[in-house]
Amino acid sequence: DIQLTQSPSFLSASVGDRVTLTCRASQGIGTYLAWYQQKPGKAPKLLIYSASTLQGGVPSRFSGSASGTEFTLTISSLQPEDFATYYCQQLNSYPLTFGGGTKVEVK
């Protein structure tokens, strides 16, 4: 099975900060990776698919990139509504797997 390791697990940041979240795959998955945002008590929301394609309706301050087995989600200027937990998911092969998540908290 493909393992996804997200880092950091927790991140404290302030409004306006540029933040970068990392997801590392245990083996090559091409660009078959998605990023989700989840707020407490809510279902996840798709942000990025195919590693770097922005889902419709998602603000352009979110971006994704890939380099080998390392993937990053960047928020260029953190907004109050961005404090949430972020998950990556590999879609290269079954069983599909999620990373453990990164919780972005208010500093």
Partner 1 sequence: EVQLVESGGGLVKPGGSLRLSCAASGFAFSSCSMNWVRQAPGKGLEWVSSISASGTYVYYADSLKGRITISRDNAKSSLFLQMNSLGVEDTAVYYCARDKYSNPAMGVDVWGQGTTVTVSS
- What backbone phi and psi angles, to 5 degrees, belong to 82? -90, -5
By CB under 8 A, the count of residues binding partner 1 is 24
Residues 79-98 within binding reach of partner 1 (CB under 8 A): 87, 89, 91-92, 94-98
Q: Which is nearer to partner 1, 13 or 54 (CB)?
A: 54
Spatial neighbors of 106 by CB under 8 A, at least 6 apart, are 12, 13, 14, 83
CB 94 within 8 Å of CB 81: no
Q: Which residues bind partner 1 (CB under 8 A)?
A: 1, 32, 34, 36, 38, 43-46, 49-50, 55, 87, 89, 91-92, 94-101
